[in-house]
Amino acid sequence: MTAPPDPLRRLAPVVRLAPAKVNLALAVLGVRRDGYHELHSVMAPTGMTDRLSLAVLPTGGLDTLHVAGFDAGPVADNLVLRAIAAARRAARAAGCRPDLLPPLAARLEKRIPVAAGLAGGSSDAAAALDAALEAWGVELDAGTRRAVAAELGSDVPFFLVGGPALAEGRGERLTPLPWLRDAAGWPDRPGLLLVTPAVALSTPDVFRAWDAGARALGGAARLASAHLADELRRGMLSSDMLLARASVLAAANDLAPAAVAVDPALVPFKRALLRLLGVPVGMSGSGPTHWALYPSLAEAEEAAGRLRAAVASGALAAPGPQPPFIAATVFTAPAPAAAPESQP
Ligand code: C5P
C-alpha cells in the first residue's frame, strides 16, 4: 500500500464509467437464515453507463457528491458517499495514514434509470470504491476490495469482475464467465434493447412478494441459468446461439412473478412489448426494466425507434407518470487475453 509521491496527480479527477448490468437468467433458490435470498444468476455488463468523477478536495472538509441526470434520491443516502467512506475505513485498517486519505468531491452523471433492476447504484458504488483508492494512490488486495464491495450491497462485487459472471450466494459469490465469441474467436456484441417503465420497484418489496407467494409461480430459471453459465464457461456460445435461446432466457427470471405482484400494470405492459417487438422479452433483476436481444446494435436501435414511435402515437401505454425510458445498447465484454488464433 503506497501514498502518491506526486501531489499534482491528486488534483486530476479520476473518472469511471459505471455500467448497468442485465440478468440473462435469475433463479431464486430459497430464503437464507439472514433473510437474504440464495441466487443463481448469469449477469452481464452493458454499454449503458453512469459517469463518475472524483477529485481530491484541496480545501478539506467532508466528502461531497453532486448528482446530475436521473433523480437518485437524497444525496446523503447515495451509495457513492458510502463507498468512499468504506474505502477510507479499509485503507486506514490496512495502515494508511488518515492525512493521506483526504476528502473527495464526487460528481455523478446518472444515465442509468434508478430502482430499475439494472444495478446502477451498485455499479456507481463499485466505481467509487475503485476511483477513491486511485485518487488517494492506495492499493488494496482484491480480497479486501471484494469484502468492502459485498458490505455495500449484494450486487456491488459483480462490478469488480469487469465482465459477465455467474453470481451465487446472495450475489457476492462470483465466477467470471467468458463472453460470446464469433466464428473467428473475437468477442461478439449482440444488441440489447432496454425498456424501463417509470415505476421504481423496490428490491426488498419484490423479494417480499416472492416470499409471500410468487415463489410458487417461478422455478424454471434454475435450469436455464445453470445451462447458460455452463455453455458460456465452455466457450460454446456465439451471438446467434444466444439469440436462439432468447425465449428460454426471457422466461428465466424467478422475480418476474414477484415484480408483477408488486405492480400488476407490468402484465399488460409486457404483453404490449411482445406484440410490438415480436421477439422474446425478459426482465432484469427485480425489474421493472425489460430487455430484448438483437443480432446487432443497429437492429436494437431500430426496435427502440419503433417503440418510441409507439409511445408517441399512444400504441404503447406504459405504467407510471412518464413515458418509459427506452435505450439501445450492447453487452460489453473484456478484450480477449490473447488474440484469437485464426486472426492474422
Ligand atoms: O444487498 P442489498 O442491500 O443490495 O439488497 C437489498 C435488499 O434486497 C435486501 O435488503 C433484501 O431485501 C433483498 N435481497 C435479498 N436477497 C439477495 C439480494 C437482495 O433478499 N440475494
pLDDT in tens, 204-221: 999 999 999 877 776 779
Amino acid at 234: R
Between CA 245 and CA 194, with CA 281 as vertex, the angle to 5 degrees is 110
Of 63, 130, 155, 263, which residue is the catalytic one? Answer: 155
Query: Residue 260 belongs to what H/E stretch?
Result: helix 256-262
How many C-beta atoms lie closer than 10 Å to residue 205's C-beta? 17
Question: What integer pLDDT is reported at residue 162 of this predicted model?
Answer: 94
Question: What integer pLDDT is reported at residue 337 of this predicted model?
Answer: 57
Question: What integer pLDDT is reported at residue 217 of this predicted model?
Answer: 72
Is pLDDT at 9 greater than 60 in this prediction?
no
Phi and psi angles of residue 61, each rounded to the nearest 5 degrees, phi first: 100, -150
Is pLDDT at 151 greater than 70 in this prediction?
yes
Dump pLDDT digits (tens) for 222-261: 999 999 999 999 988 899 999 999 999 999 999 999 999 9
State how beta strands 64-69 and 104-110 pair: parallel
Q: Return d(Cα 179, Cα 106) in angstroms, integer.
A: 32
What single DSSP character describes residue 284?
-
Q: Is 218 in the pocket of ligand 1 (CB under 6 A)?
A: no
Is pLDDT at 166 greater than 60 in this prediction?
yes
Place of cell 459469490: 173
Dump pLDDT digits (tens) for 334-344: 765 555 544 43
Which amino acid residue places its CA nearest to atom 10 of ligand 1? Answer: 204
Question: What integer pLDDT is reported at residue 344 of this predicted model?
Answer: 38
Whole-structure pTM value: 0.94
Q: Which three cell numbers mark 217?
A: 409461480
155 among known catalytic residues: yes
Q: Which three cell numbers mark 11?
A: 488534483
110 among known catalytic residues: no
Q: Helices marked H in 111-176 — which ranges?
A: 120-136, 142-152, 158-161
